[in-house]
Structure 1
Amino acid sequence: MWSDDRDGRREHCGLARALDASGAPDRRIWNGHAWREEDSWQDTGLVTFDLYPGVPAALRAECQCTWHGPSRPVGDSPAAAAAAVKADWDQHIAAETEAMYPVDVADELDDLLLRLHALAQEHPRAALAALRELDGRIEPLRVMAVARARHRKEPWQKVADALGVTRQSAWEKYQFAGNPEDVEAAYAKIGPRLDLDGQQSATTWR
């Protein structure tokens, strides 16, 4: 099995799944050297009897997050097919990692929420004021992020997935994010004005 922890998290595990001639999984995986029996995502060890005779018709990459790649014919070289499906999984992980915020940001968010929780218990009106301020800063950041994503040709569906809404909802709410004046206004609310490559600039859109 493959695992990914480039961001300090282990949210994705992958494997090369064997498929029969009909395209259905036959519960074997290729471990790089030999066929192994795989029971769901719990490896049961090396196959020591001919439970699934012959060489599988194809392999495909699968990830524990439910993603799976295209089937790759095994032919005479399981190792070559396994290398191809590993490349499919690496591409999947690269795309997932790009949309995953760093662990240090997650830790800082947790710390902020804990402090706001304590503040709400001890000084509720102060907490409400802080939450109001937070609300006022979040939406301009969201507009900026949508604008940058669209500038980089990210499709609306990927933007919607990152927002946790439908594609239609994302488009209806943020279609203006390509409008220079609206995005400039959003930048003005969140601090130093940056160009689309992240450099501080007096002019965001050219």
Structure 2
Amino acid sequence: MWNDERDGRREHEGVARALNASGAPDRRIWNGHAWREEDSWQYTGLVTFDLRSGAPAALRAECQCTWHGPSHPVSDSPAKAAVAVKADWEKHLAAKTEAMYPVDVADDLDDLFGRLYSLAQQQPLATLAALRELEGRTEPLRVVAVARARYRKEPWQKLADALGVTRQSAWEKYQFAGNPEDVEAAYAKTVPHLDLDGQQSATTWR
């Protein structure tokens, strides 16, 4: 079983699933050394006792998020097939977690919005002012992030997926983010950064 524990996350766990000759799962996984029976793995994450002898027909990578990869014939080397299916899972993981922000950021966001919710009960006008300030900083920072992603040659489809919009919408709204002057103007509205000389720098988005 493979775990993704980056930033303390456990949303994605993978296994090398055994398949029979018809391509159906046969309730075994390859644990790196031997075949094991899985016990409701997708619900409990538990793997129990050895089951049956002999190798199944194929292996495929499966993730706890319900994704599964292509099948790889086992032949006489389960370990060789397991290397291929783990590589499939790692590619899946890389794609799924590329736009996943760190756990500490998620915790900070939860704390911020929890505080704003409490403030709204006592000081609704102050909350509205705080939200206005938040919105004023969010869009410029979004522009900076798009510009940074485009500088790294990220395709528009990946940006659209991260933004939660269509590719066309992302391009129409942020195509100007390739213009350094526009991006630096947006950068100036976000949290200031300092260069090595202690001066505010608007070019660190690159």
TM-score (ref. length: structure 2): 0.82
Provide the rounded CA distance (Å) in 2 between the counterparts of 1:29 and 1:205. Answer: 45
In 1, are the aligned partners of 2:187 and 2:202 still within 8 Å (CA)? Answer: no
TM-superposed deviation, 1:23: 3.9
Task: State the distance in 2 between where 1:47 and 1:171 align.
Answer: 53
The match for 2:6 is 6
- Tell me the equivalent position of 1:189: 189
Give the superposed CA RMSD: 2.8
CA distance in 1, matches of 2:22, 2:156: 35
2:27 counterpart letter in structure 1: R
Aligned twin of 1:29: 29
1:84 paired with 2:84, answer: yes
Match of 1:128 in 2: 128
Give CA deviations for 1:137-190 in whole Å, capped at 9, x if unaligned: 001111111111121121222212211222222222222221222212211111
Sort the Cα spacing of 1:112 and 1:133 in 2 relative to 1 into closer, same or farther, 3 A: same
SS at match of 1:28: strand
Indicate if the aligned counterparts of 2:27 and 2:37 stay in contact, CA closer than 8 A.
yes
The within-5 A match list for 1:122-161 is 122-161=122-161
Distance in 1, matches of 2:47 and 2:205, equals 57
User: Larger deviation: 133-142 or 160-169?
Assistant: 160-169
Where 1:7 maps in the other structure, the secondary structure is helix
1:33-70, CA deviations, whole angstroms, 9 ceiling, x for partnerless residues?
222334462557335457xxx53232121111233233
Over the matched positions of the two proteins, sequence identity in percent amounts to 78
Counterparts in 2 of 1:205 and 1:148: CA distance versus 1, 3 Å = closer
1:11 is matched by which residue type in structure 2? Answer: E
Number of equivalent positions: 200
State whether residues 187 and 193 of structure 1, in contact with CA within 8 Å, keep that contact through their aligned partners in structure 2.
no
- Find the aligned partners of 2:203 and 2:42 in 1 and give their Cα distance: 52
* Structure 1 counterpart SS, 2:10: coil
What is the CA–CA distance in structure 2 between the aligned matches of 1:28 and 1:166, rounded to whole Å? 40
**What is the SS of the residue equivalent to 2:59?**
strand
**CA distance 1:78–1:194, shift in 2 (3 Å):** farther
Q: Return closer, same or farther for 1:23/1:166 CA change in 2, 3 Å cut-off.
A: farther
Matched residue SS, 1:46: coil
Alpha-carbon distance, 1:202 to partner? 5.3
Q: What residue number does 1:41 align with?
A: 42
Structure 1 residue 10 displacement after superposition: 0.9
Q: Which runs of 5+ in 2 are unaligned?
A: none
- Bigger Cα displacement from structure 2, 81-90 vs 124-133: 81-90
